Structure 1
């Protein structure tokens, strides 16, 4: 059974999160996208956990849940993200972690155990004054079926390898509990190939999720992890992660908001590692530190050349949200708003006629696409699928920009 899973989400109890991030609404958006397993988001928040207990029911002892009033085509895994704050070598380290739990009851027990380290009601993603090693020990002490791993591992702020508050290895972060860490989330600004350059990460399964705060198709499922399971259950899913039997859908890392260096406030960026290094990572306008890009940080920790592929590797496919592709196709050299009426209508027509967004992006033939969309949109989907595009890299909180202008010049006779 092939499972498309986005297991790092947030609830309306997290800051800047849509009210539509609730189970019933998410089921509808997940079907449009092509997802069949979602994270609950924020399961340690007491009020959200109470709502989840009313909105969800467990499916046949699987450790997974369905939304009441919905079918079982989209299920939920109990999940939360937390921030730990601790001192390391005289510096404050703020690091985010994702937690998978086998039941809502375990989430309640875990909330009780962690409440001594921070206010769980203040935010859906709570801040805990605790060392990462103690976090893992506490979680597994409540229930050793739980899984903990670093969230968005390379993001400059609040991540394990972040340039502003991170460390250089899993072992430095989790200390004696590192042996109980089996995976890490790559984040939007890195992909498996970038992580393969760091040999100390070879034993960890690379996961990709959206970390979305809204259900809109250009956010939900923009990255996901694919599982091939004989039975869809919490136990089998965790075993697949521990043994590395996964594949991922990834946005190109250049699309992420922190791939290259820069200083958004002064309009400086995107800067490649070589360009940023020449500036000594200082903004040439205001002299403040640049936000160092993920590409730069990977380069600092890498002990392998770019393009290295380990003998034991995973499959992954690069995708871009369909709204982004339609938007770029309609306005070569620029972008129409992802929320514009024309983009929305074309998107809806494609998914209604051809199935989910993933099917449109990955499998629909040109002949099928041309029956459901204008020629330039159909061609853009095929060319993005084939990697025939470029992206102006994201930097300092600015998303990368898909550019089809170069592609458009070569369309004469394409697929005629």
Structure 2
């Protein structure tokens, strides 16, 4: 449900190679049929480390992200949760009628890691319903926190509850298209071989050396806005309107920007650098002035870049501009503007993605 029909392991692994990713989470690892689809690719993953991952919705509608070493841990977890869920074997993201604390206890019992998914989003997220980590997880610890597309590290750096919690930036892709997968990613210092166990140990230890992803303003829920017409409001005005849009009576949802400011009352902790990126396909789309990065012209330009330079992340981050210019002068100018932070942002909110333009 809610994903592209092209979401199959082989296509996802091929997309990782285009993007320049070395680790991929499976998603939906509690689903038996999805596990079976993945098993042939675990030992033939094109050099990509595959991590079983899954998401659970608790009895307060908070979403939790789970990372495990192997599918066997998810099988154990399914057994532990089955009596509290009617959808544990049929829904990729099952609804489990337990508290966040009870779910975390069971996740830790099987040796897996857990943290809040897209923690600031105003729907189905930790800080949508709780003012603290303990408010959701009780005495259980969290192993990481996923920021979500509408936040970067600065949004959580001043929240005392999170001072010792590693931040993850994950693409949460519902499609293997290159502008979706890897639109956010993590750079992690791994000791020894790149294996699921070593990777999970590094996440627990917080050896994340860089987060990368959207400018927060590009996210769908960055600003406080009406969920119908997307008109944006200050928190003060939204309160005066009783959180109903005066134009169409739509619900006004508090944005991630405002929610993070409410919760930030500590000295901001130093975090790994956060690299703001825009997917190459979106850059090409903007420069070419077309409606989608999937147009024939955009795909031809994108494929020429990959053929020439190997993968998208290297192109965006480290390929010399002089070499990029040999393929497409306008894209080179755009990447130069991106690297120098010369980007005009038009924040999203209420469920509508933000947009950008280049100076």
3-state SS of 2:197 partner: helix
Q: What is the CA–CA distance in structure 2 between the aligned matches of 1:106 and 1:240, rounded to whole Å?
A: 19
For residues 251 and 180 of structure 2, the distance between their equivalents in structure 1, rounded to whole angstroms, comes to 29
Contact kept, 8 Å, 1:149 with 1:185, in 2: the verdict is yes
* Residue 346 (structure 1) aligned to one of 284, 293, 301: 301
Q: CA deviation at 1:200?
A: 2.2
**Cα pair distance change 1:239/1:158, threshold 3 Å:** same
The question of 1:111 aligning with 2:78 is answered yes
The structure in which a higher percent of residues are strand is 1
**TM-score for both structures, normalised by structure 1:** 0.81
Cα offset, 1:84, TM superposition: 0.6
- Could you tell me which residue of structure 2 aligns to residue 403 of structure 1? 357
- Give the distance between the partners of 2:135 and 2:306, measured in 1 at CA: 46
Counterpart CA distance in 1 for 2:251 and 2:7 is 35
Query: Structure 1 pair 277/371, CA: closer, same or farther in 2 (3 Å)?
Result: farther
> Matched residues in 2 for 1:344 and 1:41: separation?
27
The 8 Å contact of residues 257 and 396 in structure 1, kept in 2 or not, is answered as: yes
Q: Does 1:82 align with 2:56?
A: yes
Identify if the C-alpha distance between structure 1 residues 278 and 196 changes in structure 2 by more than 3 Å, giving closer, same or farther: farther
Aligned residue number for residue 356 of structure 1: 311
Q: Per-residue deviation at 1:182?
A: 2.3
Match of 2:153 in 1: 192
Report if aligned partners of 1:324, 1:402 keep a CA contact under 8 Å in 2.
no
Alpha-carbon distance in structure 2 between the residues aligned to 1:98 and 1:245 = 19
Q: Which moved more, 1:357-366 or 1:20-29?
A: 20-29
CA distance in 1, matches of 2:50, 2:2: 22
**Which residue does 2:284 correspond to in 1?**
326
> How far 1:264 sits from its partner (Å)?
4.1
Q: How many aligned positions are there?
A: 356
Unaligned runs of 5+ in 1: 1-14, 57-64, 86-92, 408-416
Q: C-alpha distance in 2, partners of 1:182/1:259?
A: 25
Give the conservation status (yes or no) of the 8 Å contact 1:354–1:368.
no
Contact 1:330 1:336 in 2 (8 A): no
Name the CA distance, whole Å, in 2 between partners of 1:314 and 1:277: 35
TM-score, with structure 2 as normaliser = 0.94
Q: CA deviation at 1:109?
A: 1.9
Task: Name the counterpart of 2:275.
Answer: 317
1:253 to 194, 202, 216: 216
Deviations along 1:334-387, one digit per CA (max 9) or x if unpaired, are x632222211111111121112110111111111111111x2221011111221
**Distance 1:279-1:325 versus aligned 2 partners, 3 A rule:** farther
5+ long unaligned stretches in structure 2: none
| Counterpart contact for 1:49–1:108, Cα < 8 Å | no
Match of 1:167 in 2: 130
**1:283 aligns to 2:233 (yes or no):** no
